[in-house]
Amino acid sequence: MKRLVCLILAVLLVLSLCACGKSNTAESSKPAAAPALPAAEAPVASEAPVSEESLIDDPAWDQLESLGKVTTENGIFYVTITIPSDIVGADTTQESLDAETNKNFTSAKLNDDGSVTYKMTKKQHKAMMDEFTKGIDEGLQELVDSADYAFTKITHNANYTSFDAYLSTSQVGFTEGFMVLGFYMYGGIYSLFSGENVDNISVNFYGPDGNLISTANSSEMG
Protein backbone atom coordinates (compact mmCIF):
# COMPACT_ATOMS: atom_id res chain seq x y z
CA MET A 1 0.00 0.00 0.00
CA LYS A 2 2.82 2.44 0.77
CA ARG A 3 4.25 1.83 -2.70
CA LEU A 4 0.81 2.46 -4.20
CA VAL A 5 0.52 5.74 -2.28
CA CYS A 6 3.89 6.90 -3.61
CA LEU A 7 2.92 5.88 -7.15
CA ILE A 8 -0.35 7.81 -7.06
CA LEU A 9 1.35 10.94 -5.72
CA ALA A 10 4.05 10.67 -8.39
CA VAL A 11 1.43 10.29 -11.12
CA LEU A 12 -0.45 13.35 -9.88
CA LEU A 13 2.70 15.43 -9.83
CA VAL A 14 3.61 14.35 -13.37
CA LEU A 15 0.09 15.11 -14.60
CA SER A 16 0.12 18.57 -13.07
CA LEU A 17 3.52 19.34 -14.58
CA CYS A 18 2.39 17.97 -17.95
CA ALA A 19 -0.57 20.30 -17.77
CA CYS A 20 1.83 23.24 -17.66
CA GLY A 21 3.87 21.88 -20.55
CA LYS A 22 0.86 21.16 -22.75
CA SER A 23 -0.94 24.39 -21.99
CA ASN A 24 1.01 26.48 -24.48
CA THR A 25 0.00 24.25 -27.38
CA ALA A 26 -3.62 24.25 -26.32
CA GLU A 27 -3.76 28.01 -25.90
CA SER A 28 -2.15 28.69 -29.27
CA SER A 29 -5.07 27.00 -31.05
CA LYS A 30 -7.70 29.29 -29.50
CA PRO A 31 -8.80 32.46 -31.34
CA ALA A 32 -8.00 35.85 -29.85
CA ALA A 33 -5.62 34.29 -27.35
CA ALA A 34 -2.27 35.74 -26.39
CA PRO A 35 0.62 34.16 -28.35
CA ALA A 36 2.04 31.19 -26.49
CA LEU A 37 5.70 30.78 -25.65
CA PRO A 38 7.51 27.43 -25.71
CA ALA A 39 7.83 26.01 -22.23
CA ALA A 40 11.62 26.33 -22.24
CA GLU A 41 11.38 30.07 -23.06
CA ALA A 42 8.48 30.96 -20.81
CA PRO A 43 9.38 33.54 -18.15
CA VAL A 44 8.98 32.70 -14.50
CA ALA A 45 6.16 35.22 -14.16
CA SER A 46 4.34 35.72 -17.45
CA GLU A 47 1.89 38.61 -17.68
CA ALA A 48 -0.55 36.46 -19.72
CA PRO A 49 -3.73 35.78 -17.76
CA VAL A 50 -4.79 32.20 -17.16
CA SER A 51 -8.47 31.43 -17.60
CA GLU A 52 -10.30 28.81 -15.58
CA GLU A 53 -11.89 27.56 -18.82
CA SER A 54 -8.48 26.64 -20.22
CA LEU A 55 -8.08 24.07 -17.45
CA ILE A 56 -11.41 22.33 -18.08
CA ASP A 57 -10.41 20.69 -21.35
CA ASP A 58 -6.94 19.65 -20.21
CA PRO A 59 -6.35 15.89 -20.58
CA ALA A 60 -4.64 15.79 -17.18
CA TRP A 61 -7.89 16.82 -15.52
CA ASP A 62 -9.67 14.00 -17.37
CA GLN A 63 -7.19 11.55 -15.88
CA LEU A 64 -7.79 12.94 -12.40
CA GLU A 65 -11.54 12.46 -12.86
CA SER A 66 -10.89 8.80 -13.64
CA LEU A 67 -9.56 8.51 -10.08
CA GLY A 68 -13.11 9.21 -8.98
CA LYS A 69 -13.69 5.48 -9.29
CA VAL A 70 -11.74 5.15 -6.05
CA THR A 71 -14.22 4.47 -3.25
CA THR A 72 -13.50 4.82 0.45
CA GLU A 73 -15.87 3.58 3.14
CA ASN A 74 -15.27 4.42 6.79
CA GLY A 75 -16.71 1.82 9.16
CA ILE A 76 -16.62 1.72 12.93
CA PHE A 77 -13.41 -0.25 13.15
CA TYR A 78 -12.20 -0.65 9.55
CA VAL A 79 -11.78 1.35 6.37
CA THR A 80 -12.16 -0.23 2.93
CA ILE A 81 -10.68 1.37 -0.19
CA THR A 82 -11.33 0.10 -3.70
CA ILE A 83 -8.69 1.05 -6.28
CA PRO A 84 -9.69 0.82 -9.98
CA SER A 85 -7.83 -1.53 -12.30
CA ASP A 86 -6.20 1.26 -14.34
CA ILE A 87 -4.30 2.33 -11.20
CA VAL A 88 -3.67 -1.14 -9.80
CA GLY A 89 -2.13 -2.47 -13.01
CA ALA A 90 -2.75 -5.60 -15.07
CA ASP A 91 0.09 -7.57 -13.43
CA THR A 92 -1.56 -7.62 -10.02
CA THR A 93 -2.70 -11.07 -8.84
CA GLN A 94 -4.40 -12.28 -5.69
CA GLU A 95 -1.23 -14.15 -4.81
CA SER A 96 0.86 -10.99 -5.02
CA LEU A 97 -1.66 -9.12 -2.88
CA ASP A 98 -1.66 -11.87 -0.27
CA ALA A 99 2.12 -11.73 -0.17
CA GLU A 100 1.99 -7.97 0.51
CA THR A 101 -0.52 -8.22 3.35
CA ASN A 102 1.25 -6.74 6.34
CA LYS A 103 1.01 -3.94 8.85
CA ASN A 104 -0.13 -1.52 6.11
CA PHE A 105 -3.46 -3.32 5.52
CA THR A 106 -5.24 -6.38 6.90
CA SER A 107 -6.45 -7.84 3.59
CA ALA A 108 -6.68 -7.13 -0.13
CA LYS A 109 -9.09 -8.69 -2.62
CA LEU A 110 -8.65 -8.71 -6.40
CA ASN A 111 -12.12 -8.15 -7.83
CA ASP A 112 -13.51 -9.55 -11.10
CA ASP A 113 -13.19 -6.17 -12.85
CA GLY A 114 -9.48 -5.94 -11.97
CA SER A 115 -9.95 -3.46 -9.14
CA VAL A 116 -8.57 -4.17 -5.67
CA THR A 117 -10.38 -3.67 -2.37
CA TYR A 118 -8.09 -3.02 0.59
CA LYS A 119 -9.28 -3.45 4.17
CA MET A 120 -7.39 -1.70 6.93
CA THR A 121 -7.82 -0.67 10.52
CA LYS A 122 -8.36 2.98 11.46
CA LYS A 123 -4.75 3.11 12.59
CA GLN A 124 -3.51 1.71 9.28
CA HIS A 125 -5.68 4.16 7.36
CA LYS A 126 -4.29 7.08 9.36
CA ALA A 127 -0.77 5.89 8.60
CA MET A 128 -1.62 5.82 4.89
CA MET A 129 -3.09 9.33 5.01
CA ASP A 130 0.03 10.51 6.84
CA GLU A 131 2.02 9.23 3.87
CA PHE A 132 -0.21 11.23 1.53
CA THR A 133 0.24 14.31 3.71
CA LYS A 134 4.01 13.93 3.70
CA GLY A 135 4.13 13.40 -0.07
CA ILE A 136 1.86 16.34 -0.85
CA ASP A 137 3.76 18.70 1.45
CA GLU A 138 7.06 17.65 -0.12
CA GLY A 139 5.61 18.30 -3.57
CA LEU A 140 4.42 21.77 -2.55
CA GLN A 141 7.80 22.61 -1.07
CA GLU A 142 9.47 21.59 -4.33
CA LEU A 143 7.33 24.18 -6.11
CA VAL A 144 8.51 26.84 -3.66
CA ASP A 145 12.16 25.80 -4.01
CA SER A 146 12.05 25.61 -7.81
CA ALA A 147 13.40 28.55 -9.82
CA ASP A 148 10.78 27.78 -12.48
CA TYR A 149 7.97 29.23 -10.37
CA ALA A 150 7.36 32.48 -8.52
CA PHE A 151 6.02 30.77 -5.40
CA THR A 152 7.56 32.00 -2.14
CA LYS A 153 5.28 30.07 0.24
CA ILE A 154 2.36 27.65 -0.07
CA THR A 155 0.10 26.84 2.89
CA HIS A 156 -3.08 24.79 3.17
CA ASN A 157 -5.78 23.71 5.60
CA ALA A 158 -5.92 20.28 7.26
CA ASN A 159 -7.80 18.45 4.50
CA TYR A 160 -6.21 20.21 1.50
CA THR A 161 -9.41 21.90 0.37
CA SER A 162 -7.93 25.40 0.61
CA PHE A 163 -4.48 26.50 -0.57
CA ASP A 164 -2.81 29.89 -0.10
CA ALA A 165 -0.06 30.48 -2.65
CA TYR A 166 2.23 33.47 -2.09
CA LEU A 167 4.09 34.91 -5.09
CA SER A 168 7.11 37.12 -5.62
CA THR A 169 5.16 38.94 -8.36
CA SER A 170 2.05 41.10 -8.33
CA GLN A 171 0.28 39.03 -10.98
CA VAL A 172 -0.35 35.32 -11.39
CA GLY A 173 2.07 34.06 -14.02
CA PHE A 174 1.30 31.56 -16.75
CA THR A 175 3.03 28.60 -15.09
CA GLU A 176 1.77 29.46 -11.61
CA GLY A 177 -1.77 29.71 -12.94
CA PHE A 178 -1.68 26.30 -14.49
CA MET A 179 -0.42 24.82 -11.23
CA VAL A 180 -3.96 25.43 -9.98
CA LEU A 181 -4.67 22.08 -11.58
CA GLY A 182 -1.94 20.53 -9.46
CA PHE A 183 -3.50 21.94 -6.28
CA TYR A 184 -6.89 20.57 -7.33
CA MET A 185 -5.29 17.18 -7.91
CA TYR A 186 -3.61 17.10 -4.52
CA GLY A 187 -6.80 18.11 -2.74
CA GLY A 188 -8.91 15.74 -4.80
CA ILE A 189 -6.77 12.66 -4.21
CA TYR A 190 -6.56 13.40 -0.49
CA SER A 191 -10.35 13.67 -0.23
CA LEU A 192 -10.86 10.45 -2.20
CA PHE A 193 -8.70 8.37 0.10
CA SER A 194 -9.83 10.08 3.29
CA GLY A 195 -13.45 9.32 2.44
CA GLU A 196 -14.52 12.96 2.76
CA ASN A 197 -17.18 14.40 0.48
CA VAL A 198 -15.53 17.57 -0.81
CA ASP A 199 -17.52 19.97 -2.98
CA ASN A 200 -14.82 22.50 -3.70
CA ILE A 201 -11.07 23.07 -3.57
CA SER A 202 -9.98 26.70 -3.55
CA VAL A 203 -6.63 28.29 -4.38
CA ASN A 204 -5.85 31.84 -3.26
CA PHE A 205 -2.98 33.75 -4.83
CA TYR A 206 -1.28 36.52 -2.86
CA GLY A 207 1.25 39.10 -4.06
CA PRO A 208 4.51 40.08 -2.36
CA ASP A 209 2.59 42.74 -0.40
CA GLY A 210 0.31 40.07 1.06
CA ASN A 211 -2.76 41.29 -0.79
CA LEU A 212 -5.09 38.80 -2.49
CA ILE A 213 -4.62 38.73 -6.28
CA SER A 214 -7.16 36.11 -7.31
CA THR A 215 -9.00 32.97 -6.22
CA ALA A 216 -9.71 29.80 -8.20
CA ASN A 217 -12.34 27.22 -7.28
CA SER A 218 -12.58 23.67 -8.57
CA SER A 219 -16.38 23.82 -8.33
CA GLU A 220 -16.38 26.37 -11.16
CA MET A 221 -14.69 24.06 -13.63
CA GLY A 222 -17.86 22.63 -15.12
| Tens digits of residue pLDDT in 62-96 | 555 555 456 676 667 889 988 888 777 788 899 99
Structure confidence at residue 6 as a pLDDT band (50, 70, 90): low
Instruction: Output 188 or 60, whichever has higher pLDDT.
Output: 188
Nearest alpha-carbon partner for 152 in 75, 220, 200, 208: 208
Nearest alpha-carbon partner for 142 in 178, 111, 179: 179
8 Å CB contact between 87 and 8: yes
pTM: 0.70
Query: How many angstroms separate the CA atoms of 222 and 217, rounded?
Result: 11
